[in-house]
Amino acid sequence: MSEARIDDRVLGTLHARILDWFSEHARDLPWRSATASAWEIFLSEVMSQQTPVARVEPIWREWISRWPTPFALADAPAGEAVRHWGRLGYPRRALRLHEAARAMVARHDGQVPTSYEDLLALPGVGEYTAAAVASFAHGDPQVVIDTNIRRVLVRAVEGRALPAPSLTARERAVAAAAMPSDREQANAWNAAVMELGALVCTARAPRCGDCPVLEICAWQRAGCPPDDGPARRGQAWHGTDRQVRGRILQLLRDTPSPVARDHLDTVWPQDPVKVDRCLAGLVEDGLVEPVEAGYSLPA
């Protein structure tokens, strides 16, 4: 366990300025309401994984209205979760949310667990989500590290443009050292740094003119050097299994009854073998179920 030291004066300024900025500029997201339940916050966190907040909000409203508690979702067929996931992306998250709801009913009296360890044990919950739910839903100031926080800290403290592809021990140490010691402030800090990364200290075209910690930012003082890491590999899309899986699922979501195998070829007419492979993968993942009449979302 390495240790990171941040100058006390710098730290004090970071805390004061970023918390103050947050109190003024935080977006009015529904799951930040004082009355939001742990379940509502849990849903928002999983839905927000790799997904812009603007796209999450309508689906989140639909879900909390339809399934206001873990019991409600646990009682629904898994396929309904996938159907109402819509086009949010990474639909395995819908399945895992459904499994998580059933785990909450089975192991936690239908409640969102409060400890980091119990949260981490839920399907679809990794280090980030476990820490975020502990902090935001339960007021337990775990060290939250997401892509926004990594970027803000690597710039403000380390003076580099972008964090490395994978989380380093050094980053964990810096994030831990950056947390305010006060419990309330620590929880606010988690949300505030994320928000600063999302709105101001963005990956491309950061709005440094609006930054509350411009004067003490190490990256700024270094003259905003460009990223020195290896070029990032973009994800292929056209013609990939991902694209075809997406189309198959979209068709199944938009069709109330099972879809015949032949009809599924319409999503990728140039290659029925690829459709076969993707279908097998979707069945393997539990996102699709073979039935007599063809294929449908799982029961």
**Which sequence positions are flagged as catalytic?**
45
- The residue within the footprint of DNA, chosen from 195, 200, 213, 295 (CB under 7 A), is 195
Nearer CB in complex with DNA: 31/67: 31
Q: Spell out, one character per residue from 100 to 139, where the chain touches DNA: x when CB under 7 A holds, - when not.
A: -----------------------xxxxxxxx-x-------
Cα distance between residue 15 and residue 186, in whole Å: 9
Instruction: From residue 293, give the alpha-carbon distance in Å to each of 170, 254, 259, 260, 263.
Output: 55, 16, 7, 6, 11
Under 8 Å between Cβ of 74 and 101:
yes
Q: Judged by CB under 7 A, which of 35, 50, 65, 181 binds DNA?
A: 50
90: left (phi over 0), alpha (psi -120 to 50) or beta: left
CA dist 179 and 183 (Å) reads 9
Across the strands, what pairs with 157? none
Residues that contact DNA, how many (by CB under 7 A): 58
Find the helix or strand (DSSP H, E) in which 255 lies: none
**Tokens found for residue 64:** 């909390």
User: Applying CB under 7 A, which of residues 209, 226, 230, 234 lies at the interface with DNA?
Assistant: 234
Min CB(8)–DNA separation in Å: 28
Calpha distance 32→74 (Å, rounded): 24
Q: Is residue 252 at the binding interface for DNA, with CB under 7 A as the rule? A: no
In the complex with DNA, which residue's Cβ is closer, 86 or 294?
86
User: Is position 243 an interface residue for DNA (rule: CB under 7 A)?
Assistant: yes
By rule CB under 7 A, what string of x and - marks binding of each residue 203-232 to DNA? xxx-------------------------xx
Is residue 49 within the footprint of DNA (CB under 7 A)?
A: yes
For residue 259, the 8-state DSSP code is: B
Nearer to DNA, 17 or 245 (CB): 245
Q: What is the DSSP secondary structure assignment for residue 289, as one 8-state letter? A: E
Contact call for residues 9 and 89 (beta carbons, < 8 A): no
CB of 49 to DNA, least distance (A): 4
Cross-strand pairs, 245 = none
Helix (H) or strand (E) holding 290: strand 289-291
Q: Is 188 in the site for DNA (CB under 7 A)?
A: no
Displacement of CA 95 from its chain's centroid (Å): 15
Residue whose CB is less far from DNA, 192 or 216: 192
Please identify, using beta-carbon distances, which residue of 166 and 181 lies nearer to DNA. Answer: 166
Instruction: Rule CB under 7 A: say whether 53 interacts with DNA.
Output: yes
Residue pair 170/233 in contact by the 8 Å Cβ criterion: no
Residues lying near DNA in the complex (CB under 7 A)? 29, 31-32, 44-45, 48-53, 55, 87-92, 96, 123-130, 132, 146-148, 151, 162, 165-166, 194-195, 197-198, 202-205, 231-232, 234-235, 237, 240-243, 245-247, 249-250, 281
